[in-house]
Structure 1
Amino acid sequence: MLDTIAALLLAHALADFVFQSRWMVENKHDMPPLLAHTAIVFALSLAALGGAFWPALLVALLHLQIDFAKARLGGQSLGPFLADQAAHGVAILVTALLFPLAVANGLWPAIHADAGQAMALLAGLILATRMGQFLVGKLMAPYADAIHEEDGLPDGGALIGLLERGLTFIFVLAGQTTGVGLLIAAKSFLRVGTANESRKMAEYVIIGTLASIGWALLVAYGAQWLITRLADG
């Protein structure tokens, strides 16, 4: 069952945080973009499961219902985002419980015995970096109006966040957790001048950094646990 969870997690991460366009996000209350996104979920789930049609269809239909509800009931803040992702997690778990052998009976075991571990690793990396970008962005949105940073590069903060979460994920999976401490120290040192100019900026940087790296650590250890269980099983 765990390999099915890993496959569906990868499909979800790719569908929601890599292949979902801005048009789909901003117009999901309309049926064409919602159906286009659902088709991507189905195609990616079918591929990740190695050709298992029915579980791919089930998770895609559940995804459709969750996104339909969010588009009409939810907002764009952190709370609805977390609720939406939690609902997708439940949908993945339900599908894996109903079809625990979806991956085992598919094409991937014949191609590579460690396919489940590879999918868990890639899913973790995407969730740590790209999902973390949206999560931290929504967390920090209420404080953004109080911060006026004029000299930054366009999208520089977003890129820094992606890099720090990616490096944190890699450090944990490589067993080099000391590197996470060095990463925090390096970022703190580089931002100390800016932070000293404003208490608001200092607090903004601290909250954003801790949230970003904390999320990456959580996902990294979760991925590590899943990979270990798949290797033992």
Structure 2
Amino acid sequence: MMLFTKLLLAHLIGDFLLQPKRWVVHKEANKVKSKYLYLHVLLHAGLMFLLLWDFSYWKTILVITVSHYFLDLGKLYANPKFKNKTIPFFVDQLLHVLVLYACVYYENLYEHTLSLTSLIDWPLVTAVVFVSYPTAIIMGIVLEGMSNRIEVDHKSLPNAGKYIGIIERLFVLTFIILGRWEAIGLLITAKSVFRFNDLKESNNRKLTEYILIGTLLSFGMAIIAGIIYVGFHQ
């Protein structure tokens, strides 16, 4: 586990802390001809050697370095084909982590992976998934008739409300699992403070009622999911 942790740390440092924006821009513009692509890959190799400080792992580091080069190169050529740049980014990061995992546990990869899957808390996974997009869709359907009657005189970020709702429900679920019900009250208070100016300036009773219903519905569904999960484990 320590080997995987150190390799992951090297990856995080190399990909995020020690990769300037100009390197990224240069790589995206020049792709395979970019000098920073090779410098970036060599930096990763150096970080792995530095953190492991054991040259007996040179084969592992070589495999990871070569795979990192081809994965980064593949992402550079795939990027222009995606409107949503987060997709190739997260796929690339996932593949990097899978390569690290495979290199560390290659001797008993199947057995180790099977043991990890047996540790998954499936009720928790179900609760987390439920309070994310499924709840957002359910709320959209329930509130659809009301939202059509609301006149909004200000612009907001696309899907900002949906993502805020998902994040707040994840917080609520976490607080319930940890038994910190008072933190939910603080979360509601914080959201009310942020919303106060919008509601005050709009002076729109329908908007106020719509936001209040949406907030209570969002928190309520997260609380129900949390109570069911906690009850499942009692």
Q: Which has the higher contact order (CA 8 A, sep 6+)?
A: 1
More helix by share: 2
- Normalising by structure 2, report the TM-score: 0.47
- Normalising by structure 1, report the TM-score: 0.48
